[in-house]
Amino acid sequence: MALGFYLRQERERTIVRAVTDADASSGNYVYRPSGTGQQLYKSNGSNYNYVGAGNTTSTNHASAVPLLDWTDVEEVLSYRATEVKDDRIDGTSRPIVAPVRQMLVPENLRGTARSLINSTEITVTTNSQETRFANPVQNIAEVLSSPFIDEQGSDALHDWYIGDFQRQFIWTEIWPVQTFLQNSDSESAFERDVVLRVKARYFGGVSAVDTAYVTKVDGAA
């Protein structure tokens, strides 16, 4: 049972690192256009899925956006609505309609993200006067978090991802998570003394089929 538990954790870690493109720097790519691996979230913004410092493609979105309040979510939604367009050649490019369905954050931002998305009201104080209004981003996305993002380093503690992950990534599975037990009365006992043998395995991986459906946000202050 313990081996199966840790194997499921390993599978989860593989998926999270693929979705965040954590291993591109070591040549393990999840995005392979025309069969050639490349970085998924290019910091120059050329894949139209990155908001943050270094974005030379969409210069109005070249600054970090720390996840602090609903306006930060709105800023990224504006980027997706105005900058993420199709590549048609028979006319003017048009925005790709891709409603967000999930927000993925490190555990460091879990409380903040859930508060922003699940709150029913927003309170704004101006000149000692308090104003309350409905939360514009309430329930706009499902909030997901993972410690396997936090482990990627100090920069990853502030980055967040938003979009439709199921449209951008596919999990190809040959073998699901499996645990095999062989005890003392198995066939192997005829050849050798066997108390217990355990084998745990899975065989699968993640691929990015596009770039437009999930946006990485540089949240470094």
**pLDDT digits 0-9 by tens, 38-77:** 999 999 999 999 999 999 999 999 999 999 999 999 999 9
Q: CA dihedral in degrees (60, 66, 70, 76; nearest 10)?
A: 40
CA 167 vs. chain centroid, Å, equals: 12
Q: Where are the alpha helices (DSSP H) in 28-130?
A: 70-82, 110-118
Q: What is the pTM of this model?
A: 0.87
Give residues with Cβ within 8 angstroms of 34, minimum separation 6: none
Higher pLDDT, 114 or 194: 114
